[in-house]
Amino acid sequence: MGQAYVPGLKVSERQIVHKERVLPLKGEIKVKIGDKVKASDVVAATNLPGNVELINVVNKLAITPAELGSCMLAREGDIISKGQMLAQSKGFFGYFKSSCQSPVSGTVENISSITGQVVLREPPIPVEVHAYVDGIVEEIHKDVGVTIKLQAAFVQGVFGIGGEVVGEISMISRGLEDEIVAREILPEHAGKIIVGGSFIVADALKKAVDTGVKGIIVGGIDAKDLRDFLGYDIGVAITGSEEMGLTMILTEGFGKINMAKKTYDLLSKHNGKQASINGATQIRAGVIRPEIIIPLKNIEEDKIKEAEIRKDVGLTPGKLVRIIREPDFGAVVKVKSLPVTLMKLESETMVRVVEVEHPDGSVRVVPRANIEIIES
Amino acid sequence: MKKEDIRTIVATDCGSTTTKAILIEQQGEEFRLIARGEAPTTVEAPVEDVTKGVFNAINELEEIVGRKFTDGDTLLKPKKGSDGFDIYISTSSAGGGLQMMVAGVVKAMSAESAARAALGAGAIVMDTIASNDGRLPHQKIERIRKLRPDMILFSGGIDGGTTKHVVEIAQILAAADPKPRFGITFQLPVIYAGNKDARELVKELISKKVALTVTDNLRPVLERENLLPARHLIHDQFLEHVMQQAPGYKQLMAMTDYEIEPTPGAVGTIMQRIAREKKIQILGVDIGGATTDVFSVFQGIYNRTVSANFGMSYSISNTVSEAGLDNVMRWIPFDMNEKDLMNRVKNKMIRPTSIPQLMEELIFEQAVAREALRLSLIQHKEMAVSLKGVQKERTMSDIFSQSSDSSLVNMTTLNMIIGSGGVLSHSPRRHQAAIMMIDAFLPEGVTQLTVDSIFMMPQLGVLTNFHPEAAAQVFEKDCLIYLGTCVAPIGAEKDGKKCLEFKISMPDGKVIQDELTFGDIRVYPLGVGQVAKLYAKPAKNLDLGAGPGISIEDTLYGGVVGIIFDTRGRRPFKLPENKSERVAKMQRWLSSMNAYPNY
């Protein structure tokens, strides 16, 4: 009975986290198994092929592709610098010559007498992968990356934007129902991850970027404000590559919704500590939710034990659940009973329901599909 | 088990949002639907295994009928006493919509053609990679890895042209070494549809890293686009490769007694059967959480499209975004706060399995559904042309245009619309399903409306393959709900002006004779199984299929709603621009339809 429920988001005081850190191309691993690493440490590095610049030289010189070879001053394989003349037309009796300068420094990779294009390759680009979390190197993936293991407090958000950032947690609201407003974002919040209660207003988001805040963790935001901030609307929830100057994680959803007490209390407990957060979200089969990882210090390596995998994922009376749809959206309530018979909702839909008890003692009926268990 | 020994069948459909289980049993001489259970599809941690959702849905069946069908994590087969069942079958679309990356050499040319091919095949294009897209190679590589697409289509170069830039794209793909989003044992499907001279070079570079298939160039010469072969390959790869990668799919395969069928394929089987047996032209739709599948049989030709970007949960935000909020709002008979609406849409997107508890939320979702259906039909109409095998010629001057040829889909000759999928099958009132389909598809002339009773066409589709009698019996008795017939003249007239005179000879011998004014909906009861005769004469500007002002005689089939006269106009169908006028009209029309308690 009662298995039909929405999987919940994790809010864990302490658990083992394994983070895979992978290079975009094969490269060099900078650490070995057992090494203790800091979030900012480089664990792997590589050189990526430089950017390719395509230049339509024949257009620039007003010549035909067949004439390109005789006008080129640089040859395939030549190293060239930015501004260097690549080609020059013969002109009219030696006058009115047109020329083409290289927009970048690099190597001439290809001169095509078919398309009239010249391909320039910029110098290789060094790329480094950081540990992202404080922990111990658990596994080396040859030439590709490493897995880092750590004991941490772990919270899953419901939606986020922006990629990985590491910073100090700074609680700027006084309670889980507080909004983050612009005047509360101060210069000392630069480089930090600020945590608010229920909501962030549009101008506070802008102020956070201007101040240099690295991350925001908050209950909710208006979808309209997020659209205005990003400059486009999110059609399907696939995020993580936004480059807006900060990472933001919503713990509850869109609109003004109090952060769940358990989440708020956990983040408050670690106020001032370092956290690694990632807003990347993919809501489709094989879901990725945004994460907040707070490494726990002073834990001996040999005392780290794998957290027990919870098998009891069903819905039972007494369990804390979050209501995820109107009315009472965002309320954290206790399961009272699980009636078997279908019930008719205001929308006239006949569904299976759960009877829940609100903190004020009132008991209401909610569709089972409209709750999620708060996982620990 | 021999077919004649089968008495009890459990069938599931693992959708992207929910898993539906039905219990079919032989009662006397015929098979009937006994019960239905539903549970969220389990593809998210902590239960990343589609079979868990299956067991949860079957557990619901157990609760409803008070018998045991499972023993812990095993199915009780065959039936012993009152417990257990004989056969277990399933369909699946648990992988969700198809999400693709496309790549080409030049952003405005081959990459654009690749994007169009993917969109036409019903995919969401997550990103378009091109040699000249302004990103550094490593940024492209990172992007490919991070997005975890279901499939990549890449093109570039005209046949016989330079191969170098295509090879460069292949090098980026090889460097990215992209992995599928489910499991590490599968290889990511990559389709190459570029310069044929580069095929061997591309194979050499990436065939060991990805599941590479090669098809005809999307752009064999600069002035011509040839999207059809790539589109077909995308469809095939999606159904046969991507879908199987849902977590737990292998375990599900081991549990079923017959091969799992992709949901759209199974629904298509049923749709074709209806068209064939009734000798009619049909339009079917299955609107899901991530995708909307449209099926049609016109002139005996079957077409199916998967609009992966128009759905009611995972892709609801995309549906609203593509349709535009104003187009969604036009179907809502009251004022709603825009900011609040946007929040609701996004909350449904991030928590896709939730359901509307309040009436206003139901009305809003049904408004979104109208737009998902409307947009999916547009895509289907465009594809139904291509599938005839007509190659689309595009010239340099219309690279950016989206002109469409005449489609096989003809709303005037259409006989029946079949609706399926959660928002249609689970409408609390069948009248809601009827008006949603009328508003979205705008049927012309005389069209019968039906809906899948509890969304079980997928299961019956797969059952058809090995027990056609059982499938047929359940289909006739329990699956198809006849809503009634819609009569809608084409053309426009002044609001309130007389536009139609008609006479209906009812089955009991009574004759209803009346006339209608333009801009209205009127419903006359005619029960399920009842048939009436219609004689109608439209005004001189209006057409019921025989020509402007020409009378028609036709058969009207009854249903739970009845005969719906829709004189709101077609080609164009216009709603008032003025908000209060529009709201007042919507209220009147919904009231005529008896769609909601307050209207």
Q: Beta strand pairing status for B30-40 and B445-452? A: unpaired
Which residues of A fall within a CB distance of 8 Å from B309? 235-236
Nearest CA-CA distance, residue B119 and chain A, Å: 15
CA distance B39 to B57: 5
Segment A325-330 shows an average pLDDT of 89
E strands, B230-300, in order: 261-262, 282-287, 292-298
Q: Residue B140 carries which side chain, given as an amino acid letter?
A: K
Q: Is the peptide bond before B180 cis (omega within 30 degrees of 0)?
A: no
Nearest to A347 among B39, B309, B358 (CB): B358
How far apart are alpha carbons A187 and A192 in whole angstroms?
10
Contact: A369, B94; criterion CB under 8 Å: no
Of B10, B569, B116, B129, whose CA–CA distance to B382 is shortest? B116
Contact A24 B141 (CB under 8 A): yes
On the question of pLDDT at A321 being above 60, the answer is: yes
Cβ proximity of B447 and B563 under 8 Å: no
Q: pLDDT value at position B96? A: 60
Closest CA to A199 of A135, A257, A248: A257
For residue B15, the chain A residue with the least C-alpha distance is: A285
- In which residue are the tokens 């009975």 written? A1
Nearest neighbour of B343 by CB, restricted to A255, A280, A286: A255
Which 8-state DSSP code applies to residue B241?
I
Q: How many angstroms separate the CA atoms of A141 and A310, rounded? A: 28
Per CB-CB distance under 8 Å, the chain B contacts of A241 are 143, 146-147
Scanning B449-508 for CB atoms below 8 A from A yields none
The yes-or-no verdict on residue A167 having pLDDT over 60 is yes
Measured CA to CA in angstroms, residue A176 lies from A42, A322, B178 at distances of: 36, 15, 41
Residue of B52, B351, B455 best to disrupt the A interface, most CBs of A under 10 A = B351
Q: Do A5 and B40 touch (CB under 8 A)?
A: yes
Q: How confident is the model at residue B406, as a pLDDT?
A: 66
* CB contact residues (below 8 A), chain A span 264-303, against chain B: 280-287
For residue B233, what is the DSSP state?
H
CB of A38 less than 8 A from some CB of B: no
Of B427, B358, B417, B377, the C-alpha closest to B590 is: B427
Residue B185's contacts (CB-CB under 8 Å, 6 or more residues apart) are none
| Buried b or exposed e, range A240-249, using 16+ CB within 10 angstroms | bbbeeebbbb
The phi and psi torsions of B379 (rounded to 5 degrees) equal -60, -40
| A369 contacts chain B (CB < 8 A) | yes
Identify the pLDDT of residue A309. Answer: 40
Mean pLDDT of chain A: 88
Distance CA(B147)–CA(B133), nearest Å, equals 17
Which residue, chain included where needed, has tokens 């000798």? B279
Task: Judge residue A355's burial from the number of C-beta atoms within 10 Å of its C-beta, 0-12 exposed, 13-18 middle, 19 or more buried.
Answer: middle
pLDDT of res. B243: 67
Would you state the structure tokens that stand for residue A37, as one six-digit string?
């690493």
Query: Are A199 and A256 in contact, with CB atoms under 8 Å apart?
Result: yes
Contacts of B287 (CB under 8 A, 6+ apart): B311, B312, B369, B372, B373, B376, B419, B420, B421, B422, B423, B424
Residues with Cβ within 8 Å of residue B414, at least 6 apart in sequence: B281, B282, B283, B298, B443, B444, B447
- Number of other CB atoms surrounding residue A142 within 10 Å: 7
**Quick check: B362 and A349 CB within 8 A?**
yes
What is the residue whose two structure tokens read 């409209």? A370
- Residue B87's alpha-carbon distances to B25, B184, B254, B419, in angstroms, are 11, 31, 13, 28
The CA distance from B5 to B444, in Å, is 47
Name residue, tokens 């008495």: B7
Cβ contacts of A112 on chain B, cutoff 8 Å: 162, 164
pTM exceeds cut of 0.80: no
Token output for B58: 């079957």
Pair B480, B458: CB distance under 8 Å: no
In this structure, how many other beta carbons lie within 10 angstroms of the beta carbon of residue B540?
A: 12
- What share of chain A has pLDDT > 70, as a percent? 91
Is residue B76 within 8 A of residue B62, CB to CB? The reply is no
Asked whether the beta carbons of B506 and B482 are under 8 A apart, the reply is: no
Token pair recorded at residue A355: 């009877």
Length of chain A: 376
pLDDT-flagged residues of chain B (< 70): 43-47, 95-97, 120, 122, 181-186, 239-245, 383, 385-406
Which of A115, A253, A309 minimises the CB distance to B162? A115
Chain A nearest C-alpha distance from B144 (Å): 10
Contact A274, A312 (CB under 8 A): no
Token look-up 């299955």 returns B286
Beta carbons of B124 and A348 less than 8 Å apart: no
Q: Write out chain A in H/E/C secondary structure.
A: CCCCCECCCEEEEEEEEEEEEECCCCCEECCCCCCEECCCCEEEEEEECCCEEEEEHHHHHCCCHHHHHHHECCCCCCEECCCCEEEECCCECCECCCEEECCCCEEEEEECCCCCEEEEECCCEEEEEECCCCEEEEEEECCCEEEEEEEEEEEECCEEECCEEEEEEEECCCCCCCEECHHHCCHHHCCEEEECCCEECHHHHHHHHHHCCCEEEEEEECHHHHHHHHCCCCCCCEECCCCCCCEEEEEEEECCCCCCHHHHHHHHHCCCCEEEEECCEECCCCCECCEEEEECCCCCHHHCCCCCCCCCCCCCCCCEEEECCCCCCCCEEEEEECCCCCEECCCCCEECEEEEECCCCCEEEEEHHHEEECEC
Interface size A-B, in CB pairs within 8 Å, comes to 222
pLDDT of res. A3 = 44
Q: Which of A93-107, A155-169, B65-79 has the highest mean pLDDT?
A: A155-169
Residues of B numbered 21-80 whose beta carbons fall under 8 angstroms of chain A's beta carbons: which are they? 38-48, 55-57, 59-60, 63
Cβ proximity of A352 and A337 under 8 Å: no
Residue B240 DSSP code: I
Burial (CB count within 10 angstroms: exposed 0-12, middle 13-18, buried 19+), residue B17: buried
Q: How far is A34 from chain B (nearest CA, A)?
A: 26
> Furthest-apart CA pair in chain B: how many Å?
78
For residue A66, give both structure tokens. Answer: 């067949």
As a whole number of angstroms, the distance between CA B431 and CA B393 comes to: 43
A1 touches chain B (CB under 8 A): yes
A117-161 pLDDT, tens digit per residue, is 787 888 888 889 999 999 999 999 988 899 999 999 999 999 999
> Mean pLDDT, to the nearest integer, of A93-114?
83
**Is the pLDDT confidence value at A54 over 80?**
no
SS3 B104: strand
Contacts of B425 in chain A (CB under 8 A): none
**CB B452 within 8 Å of CB B476:** no
CA distance A279 to chain B (A): 13
- Is the minimum CB–CB distance between B134 and chain A shorter than 8 Å? no
β-strand pairing of B8-14 with B30-40: unpaired
How far is it, in rounded angstroms, from Cα A144 to Cα A291?
Answer: 23
- Paired residues of B516 in beta bridges: B500
Average pLDDT over residues A213-226: 96
Does residue A364 sit at the B interface (CB-CB below 8 Å)?
no
Is A238 in CB contact (< 8 Å) with chain B? yes
Residue A199 is predicted with a pLDDT of 96
Contacts of B406 (CB under 8 A, 6+ apart): B385
How far is residue B244's CA from residue B95's CA, in Å, rounded to a whole number?
7
Per residue in A286-313, pLDDT (tens digit) is 678 999 999 997 555 445 444 444 444 5
CB contacts under 8 A, B 363-402 vs A, are none
